[in-house]
Amino acid sequence: MKKAVLAVVALLAVFVGVPASAATPGWDHPGYDAEDSYYNPHESSINAATVGSLTRRWSVPLRRFDETCGGPGALLLAAGRVVASDGRGISAYGMIDGKPAWHFDWDDPMDAPTPVLGVSGGTLIAGHGECNSQSDPNGHLVALDLATGKVRWRVDNGVPVVSFTVDKGMVVMSGESPSDELGTFAYRVSDGRLAWQKPGYAASSPSADGRILMTKAHTVSAVDVVTGAVAWTKRTVWVAEAATPSADRFVVSDGTALSVISAKNGALLWTAKGKQTTFVATDGRRVYRSAGFVVEALNIRNGKHLWQRRLGTESIQPIRAGGLVYTGGPILNAANGDIVSLGAAIADAKILVAAGRVFMVNDRMLSIVAS
């Protein structure tokens, strides 16, 4: 009997002893994952049947600072906390009740623009440039403990942060300025040490399972984020807008067209002329693109037009979750583009959709709505 009781206690420890945050679905990159797919495959609670009944659960004002240079950017959700940039720096809040967990302040909020954020394990990485120098701005990386907000390391670089990737325990930044030559630099998340660099290369942010695209002159190369090794090179200029969740394809643009290529060898799979845009999402079945007042879905296999929806307001970055496409206005059915909800509860907000909730920032107010 005693052994049976001990066995039950041990079993309960397995299920009850694990912190809730460990099992909580997250959104630890600006585009959900390192692929910047803007697709959350784990969301099912908010769907076509429930999205029309979203109600606000809590709201907290984000911190302000007079004459601040930065402010609210893309939200992250990791370890049960919502991470948001604000007028003073970065703050984390409990996802259930909005209670502040910690705050981090910039040394000079008047010179720190809105950062780009990414999470690797228990570390939050923030990258940003400077506001007060147009000719010679510097770049800055800071690593914070996700649990406490305490600084783990800082890196200052003479090159401003233009692109930013966090994947495979690495952070890769790329940039240039009128006084700084173009370059890409890779640092270890564990200690901030420089792992490799490539002068003259510009990197795209999306990572396909640790492989990013980098351009130099009239060529594009696929580069390993851990080692800097080049996997393949093509004589063309492609900028990655997203990678598929399975990391087998990149969605790329060249200034006029939108294309899909193989991440493995760079083979061109299809091109949609005149479809270039930076607002792209993909669930591995379709490519969703926003441009002007139009949201469109293309077949990921061949680029075939599937559906198109004209909106009453200008579209923003599309987000795909729970069978839906969030457009910044009406919420659409991902399969056919039909309007499921007018989306009034989340209109004009920066959002992420995870854990049965929509987390959003609107007018410097952080809020959660749920069905």
For 170-221, how does the pLDDT look when each residue is reduced to its tens digit (9 = 90+)?
999 999 998 899 999 999 999 999 999 999 999 999 999 999 999 999 999 9
Backbone angles phi, psi at 286, to 5 degrees: -130, 155
The overall average pLDDT reported for the chain is 93
CB 285 within 8 A of CB 306: no
Per the CB < 8 A criterion, the answer to whether 263 and 211 are in contact is yes
The residue assigned the tokens 């410097």 is 364
Q: Does the residue 109 lie in any domain? A: yes
Q: Is residue 6 part of a domain?
A: no
- Contact between 56 and 333 under an 8 Å Cβ cutoff? The reply is no
Q: Hey, which residues does 170 pair with through a beta bridge? A: 167, 188
Residue 118 has pLDDT above 90, yes or no: yes
- Better-predicted residue by pLDDT, 327 or 371: 327
338's CB contacts (< 8 A; 6+ apart) are 332
Residue 240, token pair as written in the block:
């990655």
pLDDT above 50 for 286: yes
| 260 neighbors 300 (Cβ within 8 angstroms) | yes
Confidence bin at 24 (pLDDT 50/70/90): low
Alpha-carbon distance of 235 to 230, in angstroms, equals 14
- DSSP-based three-state secondary structure for 10: helix
Domain total in the chain: 1
Q: Is the predicted pLDDT of residue 3 greater than 60, yes or no? A: no
Check if the beta carbon of residue 119 is closer than 8 Å to that of residue 28.
yes
Residue range 65-116, pLDDT digits in tens: 988 899 999 999 999 999 999 999 999 999 999 999 999 999 999 999 999 9
Are 124 and 144 contacting, i.e. CB atoms less than 8 angstroms apart?
A: yes
pLDDT score, position 337? 99
Residue 235 lies in a domain: yes
**pLDDT score of 327:** 96
The answer to whether residues 292 and 286 touch, using CB atoms and an 8 Å cutoff, is no
Domain assignment present for residue 53? The answer is yes
pLDDT at 25: 73
The single-letter code of the amino acid at 252 is V
- Is the confidence at residue 1, as pLDDT, over 70? no
In a domain, 12, yes or no: no
d(CA 204, CA 214): 6
Classify residue 179: in a domain, yes or no.
yes
Residue 15 in any domain: the answer is: no
Residue 115: partners with Cβ closer than 8 Å, 6 or more residues away: 70, 73, 85, 90, 126, 127, 128
The full DSSP string for 154-173 is EEEESS---EEEEETTEEEE
31-57 average pLDDT score: 97
Q: Give the other-Cβ count within 10 Å of 2's Cβ.
A: 6
- Any idea what the CATH number is for the domain that residue 142 is in? 2.130.10.10
Q: Is the pLDDT of residue 134 over 80?
A: no
Burial of 280 (0-12, 13-18, 19+ CB in 10 A): buried
The one-letter code for the residue type at 155 is V
Domain span at residue 274 reads 23-370
Radius of gyration of the chain (CA): 21
pLDDT band at 6 (very low <50, low <70, confident <90, very high): very low
Q: How confident is the model at residue 132 (pLDDT cuts 50, 70, 90)?
A: confident
Grouping H, G, I as helix, E, B as strand and the rest as coil, residue 345 is helix
Sheet bearing 239-243, strands edge to edge: 239-243, 249-253, 257-262, 268-273
pLDDT of residue 2: 37
Q: Following DSSP, what letter does each residue of 306-336 receive, concatenated?
A: EEEEE-SS-----EEETTEEE-SSSEEETTT
- Whether 11 maps to a domain, the answer reads no
Reply yes or no on whether the pLDDT at 168 is more than 60: yes
